[in-house]
Structure 1
Amino acid sequence: MANKTWTFTKMHGLGNDFVVLDGVRQSFSLQPEDCRRIADRHFGIGCDQILLVEKAQRPDCDFRYRIFNADGSEVNQCGNGARCFAVFVQRAGLSDKNPLRVETRAGQLLLQRRADGLVEVDMGVPILEPAHIPFVAAAPASHYALPFRGQTLSIAAVSMGNPHLLLAVNDCASAPVADWGPELERHPAFPERCNVGFMQIKSPQAVQLRTWERGAGETLACGSNACAAVVAGSLWGRLAEQVQVELPGGTLEIHWSGPGAHLHMIGPAAVVYDGTWVSQGGK
């Protein structure tokens, strides 16, 4: 990434932080090493993910939304990033359309900036078919038995455009996120790796959640994992249609009425600062 100069905006959704790049008015060819340098918190800008705004490739969409993890891998979905995407596009003067329809590698999202300053994202219909998550299982189920370190874990597997493993715990604060997360992320039952959610169900309307994100480690919030957690808890018969999900960085509101229905996520998006990235091609 020798001698490249790009403008960017640093943003976050409940502490899940992003470097957002305008690929409509700037030209990009992001390589994995570019993303790793940008995301490095000592030698770069520092972030969990890099978000790239591009012109839509589909006539029925307003923009294309691309997501790169801190390790340089491109992924299909990021719920917190989607809210930041909507705020960035309006703030940068790229569009004042509301709602926005954006295309991702996982399909389309509808982003609505609300009068109260929050952003509502129609995340689409959760994917429960194992082959489409992808997850190795014979048939869809609310619980799966997952062999792990000589024991069997009872988990849920859900895709919100990206794969998620959900595990119920008695105490979220003491959950073995850093210990189990890296290994569960790469469990052979998830051929494309997964985000791992450690969820404590406090009531039918409230969940506490910590997430180990694939390619990023534990983050302060993961919007798509919060969505998947509500899906899992609902399939287990333990959650209502409207749930507050408490993450280390703050709270999201999730609405889901059951299999086949679209899921809606509501939460904030914040701008931290604007800047210019000048790369000399190394640390």
Structure 2
Amino acid sequence: MSDKKIHFTKMHGAGNDYIYVNTLLYDVNDPNSASVRWSDRHKGIGGDGLVLICRPTTDAADYRMRIFNADGSEAMMCGNASRCIGKYLYERGLTDKTEIKLETLSGIKTLMLHLDNEGKTVESVTVDMLEPLTENHRQYADLSGGILLAEGRRFEGTFVCMGNPHFVTFLNDIDTIDIARYGAVMERDSNFPERCNIEFAQILSDGAIRTRVWERGSGITMACGTGACATAVAAALTGRASRRSEIRMDGGTLQIEWRTTDNHVYMTGPAEIVFDGEIGE
């Protein structure tokens, strides 16, 4: 580790926590390695990964997000992280816009900031997550007709691409299932050439959807924004819910709307700053 100090901000969206660095001010030369070291909850800062706030590569965007999982692999998109970036940019005075175009590896996402009455604090953010796909041959080979076998158990589910791959399976034992046991196997199933995020979901008596997440490259996480979107789409496609869903995850609740007007999925939820600090690179 060098003597160079990098300022970071720890943030979370519905418990999905990442370490954020503004690369307009600080260079992170090896973000893959840094994500592994800094994400360690015992020896580092602790988090689900590292998020870099960068200059965009296109005039169509205001800023760019790069996101690295806790295992050092680079992810295409994270809905919770994108909401946190919206809050960071506005509250730290980097923009006065309440509609921000954010470049990601899965396209340019529009962040719509919802402010408090004084216009100083971002209370929640709606993200246009664009159009979901149920086929993506690069991410999903579909070798077994939507059936995965893991540790002797059969899981029937729905593949949904929200830029990144998700497999959503609906269960009746959501609170007792060992998602670490099954998720680790399902993530690396031969159906998924690039590995996959796995959502275990259950329709509750009040119509909300309880969802637990095994996130590709990070393992169990408190929430996953793209996973919440994928769960809502899968529920609508299978007739379990309408195109508006309340997704209750371990870290909090997200509101998802799959609009008929443009076929885009819109995700609304909170974003919170936890603390600021410095760490050696």
Residues 1:127 and 2:127 are matched in the alignment: no
Does the C-alpha gap of structure 1 residues 146 and 86 become closer, same or farther in structure 2, counting only changes over 3 Å?
A: same
SS at match of 2:71: coil
Distance across 2 between alignment mates of 1:129 and 1:273: 40
8 Å CA contact 2:31–2:68 kept in 1: the answer is no
Distance across 1 between alignment mates of 2:87 and 2:227: 21
2:162 to 156, 160, 164: 160
Alpha-carbon offset, residue 146 of structure 1 = 2.7
Please give the TM-score of this superposition, normalised by the length of structure 2: 0.92
| Deviations 1:101-135, CA, capped at 9 Å, x for gaps | 01111111000111351110100001211315x10
SS at match of 2:96: coil
Amino acid at match of 2:50: I
Distance across 1 between alignment mates of 2:49 and 2:279: 15
Q: How many residues align?
A: 275
Alpha-carbon offset, residue 149 of structure 1 = 4.1
Distance across 2 between alignment mates of 1:85 and 1:167: 30
Does the C-alpha gap of structure 1 residues 204 and 194 become closer, same or farther in structure 2, counting only changes over 3 Å?
A: farther
Distance across 1 between alignment mates of 2:276 and 2:172: 41
Q: Report the counterpart of residue 92 of structure 1 in structure 2.
A: 92
8 Å CA contact 2:143–2:191 kept in 1: the answer is no
Please give the TM-score of this superposition, normalised by the length of structure 1: 0.92
Alpha-carbon offset, residue 158 of structure 1 = 0.7
* CA RMSD, Structure 1 to Structure 2 (Å): 1.9
Distance across 2 between alignment mates of 1:20 and 1:242: 31
Residues 1:136 and 2:136 are matched in the alignment: no
Which runs of structure 2 are paired with 1:136-215 in the superposition (5 Å)? 136-137=141-142, 144-150=146-152, 152-202=154-204, 205-215=207-217
Alpha-carbon offset, residue 259 of structure 1 = 10
Which sits farther off after the overlay, 28-37 or 14-23?
28-37
2:248 to 246, 249, 263: 246
8 Å CA contact 1:203–1:239 kept in 2: the answer is no
Distance across 2 between alignment mates of 1:114 and 1:145: 40
Q: Percent identity?
A: 39
Q: Report the counterpart of residue 71 of structure 2 in structure 1.
A: 71
Distance across 1 between alignment mates of 2:88 and 2:14: 16
Q: Report the counterpart of residue 20 of structure 1 in structure 2.
A: 20
8 Å CA contact 1:186–1:194 kept in 2: the answer is yes
Amino acid at match of 1:252: L
Distance across 2 between alignment mates of 1:66 and 1:123: 16
Residues 1:118 and 2:118 are matched in the alignment: no
SS at match of 2:166: strand
Alpha-carbon offset, residue 151 of structure 1 = 5.2
SS at match of 1:2: coil
Amino acid at match of 2:67: I
Amino acid at match of 1:182: A
1:266 to 258, 265, 268: 268
Does the C-alpha gap of structure 1 residues 222 and 209 become closer, same or farther in structure 2, counting only changes over 3 Å?
A: same
Does the C-alpha gap of structure 1 residues 99 and 231 become closer, same or farther in structure 2, counting only changes over 3 Å?
A: same
Alignment gaps of 5+ in structure 1: none
Amino acid at match of 1:77: M
Which sits farther off after the overlay, 268-277 or 197-206?
197-206
Distance across 2 between alignment mates of 1:31 and 1:122: 27
| Deviations 1:131-175, CA, capped at 9 Å, x for gaps | 15x101279xxx712344455421111111111111111021112
8 Å CA contact 1:80–1:223 kept in 2: the answer is yes
Q: Report the counterpart of residue 120 of structure 2 in structure 1.
A: none
Does the C-alpha gap of structure 1 residues 151 and 28 become closer, same or farther in structure 2, counting only changes over 3 Å?
A: closer
Amino acid at match of 2:208: A
